[in-house]
Amino acid sequence: MSQAGGAADVDQPRTLYVGNLESGVTDELVAALFGQIGPIQGCKIITESGGDPYAFVEFVNHTDASAALTAMNQRMCLGKELRVNWASSAVQHNQAHHRQDTSKHHHIFVGDLSPQVETHELREAFAPFGEISDCRVVKDSATQKSKGYGFVSFMNKEDAENAIQMMNGSWLGSRAIRTNWATRKPMQKDETLAHGGHGGHHKNLSYDEVYNQSSPTNCTVYCGGLGPAASSEDALRQAFEEFGEIIDIRVFKEKGYAFVKFGAKESACRAIVARHNQDLGGQPVKCSWGKEQEQPPQQHYPYGDPYQMNYWYTGYGRVDGGYHPQMNQMGGDYMNQMYSPAAPYGQYYQQYPMMGMPQGGPSGAGPMPMPPYPPQQQYPTQ
């Protein structure tokens, strides 16, 4: 080989990405397998929590690496079909440092993934858009089954933007996927949380402080200030499910807020502490305790529980006899219609006369009997 040819070969890629590995595969086995094609300089298997193991194999020269790509792609290894491709420059850097800091990179959330889609397939689908620094399909730690979503991180913001635009609605596996910006990591301990209704006043909210602000049975988180990108059940689920089991999510997109109900108060408390004032879909959100009104004791309603899943915002700025004025900004018309402790039931009920009945009641002789509870507040049709 000429000197010019040798220099050209050095400048060409020599590192392969090897995906879809069986969990028991070792560095030595992969090195021996690919070493049959030509001499290699290094081999490293990367195992990430909740993802499939994958490896990087660096050859001495480009010619052998190219031959290995052709020979080893889709070859069976311990019962699984290998996926072999060229590793990007970003991935090679990751290999050299084992795990690079991707906190300043640009992260994409990929939802509606088919159960059979693996990490290597997700990477292959997004690879044409640019240098990928990290990629994984999120799996249940107990069953190792896909949770139906994943994350792809790009070095360059423009590459990530193009991927979001071009891949949203594209088919991967047996489903059309959804793409959007992923949320930021939870705020650090030295960052502060703002108390609603106390402009300019900030305070570090501890877990215990937040926990004690609501009843032991409250498992509902109010999430306000939502932008269009975050005003969907899927976006909220991927932002909050790391804190615990989610029972229900109700989104009021036009009002810009939602309620997330967890299976345990501890999960809801962690979510409030971690997500309050954090960026979600491009703008900061406000998280606080929602309030869940249960059915009054010894009451029976043949047409269902009028209080079922009936949430409203309590906030950190509540004042005696009602809510802080800032509530109107955060809750909108929906919360303005809720029962206010400052108004007796009679005043509330007079706003809802029965159809066809005079204000004075059926006989017109006096006020209509008051029910023991305010009328049911229905969620608007989404």
Q: Give the pLDDT mean for 8-35.
A: 82
Say if residues 299 and 366 touch (Cβ distance below 8 Å): no
Q: Please, which residues have CB within 8 angstroms of residue 85's CB and are 6 or more apart in sequence?
A: 16, 17, 19, 69, 73, 124, 127
* Two tokens, residue 101: 């800091």
- How much is the pLDDT for 362? 44
74 has a pLDDT exceeding 70: yes
- What percent of the chain lies above the pLDDT cut of 90? 18
Q: Give the pLDDT mean for 9-26.
A: 81
142 phi, psi to nearest 5 deg: -85, -45
Q: Give the pLDDT mean for 363-376.
A: 48
Q: Give the pLDDT mean for 332-352.
A: 40
- How much is the pLDDT for 22? 83
Residue-wise pLDDT tens digits, 136-195 = 888 876 777 888 888 898 988 999 999 999 999 999 988 899 898 876 544 443 333 333
Residue-wise pLDDT tens digits, 253-288 = 888 899 999 988 888 988 898 888 888 887 888 899
- How much is the pLDDT for 167? 93
Q: How confident is the model at residue 213 (pLDDT cuts 50, 70, 90)?
A: confident
Q: How confident is the model at residue 51 (pLDDT cuts 50, 70, 90)?
A: low
Q: C-alpha angle 78/22/41, rounded to 5°?
A: 90
d(CA 57, CA 84): 10
- How much is the pLDDT for 252? 92
- The helix or strand, by DSSP H or E, that contains position 126, with its residue range, turns out to be helix 119-126
Report in angstroms the alpha-carbon separations of 376 from 212, 323, 339, 350, 371: 28, 20, 10, 14, 12
207 has a pLDDT exceeding 50: yes
* Two tokens, residue 164: 């979001």
Say if residues 311 and 268 touch (Cβ distance below 8 Å): no
- How much is the pLDDT for 25? 85
Say if residues 264 and 288 touch (Cβ distance below 8 Å): no
Q: Please, which residues have CB within 8 angstroms of residue 361's CB and are 6 or more apart in sequence?
A: 367, 368, 369
pTM for this model (two decimals): 0.34
d(CA 211, CA 382): 31
Q: Give the pLDDT mean for 4-28.
A: 74
- How much is the pLDDT for 10? 55
Q: How confident is the model at residue 327 (pLDDT cuts 50, 70, 90)?
A: very low
- How much is the pLDDT for 302? 37
Q: Give the pLDDT mean for 184-208.
A: 45
d(CA 72, CA 84): 7
User: Could you tell me whether strands 76-77 and 146-154 are parallel, antiparallel, or unpaired per DSSP bridges?
Assistant: unpaired
* Two tokens, residue 44: 């490293």
- How much is the pLDDT for 358? 47
Q: How confident is the model at residue 324 (pLDDT cuts 50, 70, 90)?
A: very low
- How much is the pLDDT for 130? 87
Domains recognised in the chain with CATH numbers = 12-96 (3.30.70.330), 106-181 (3.30.70.330), 185-352 (3.30.70.330)
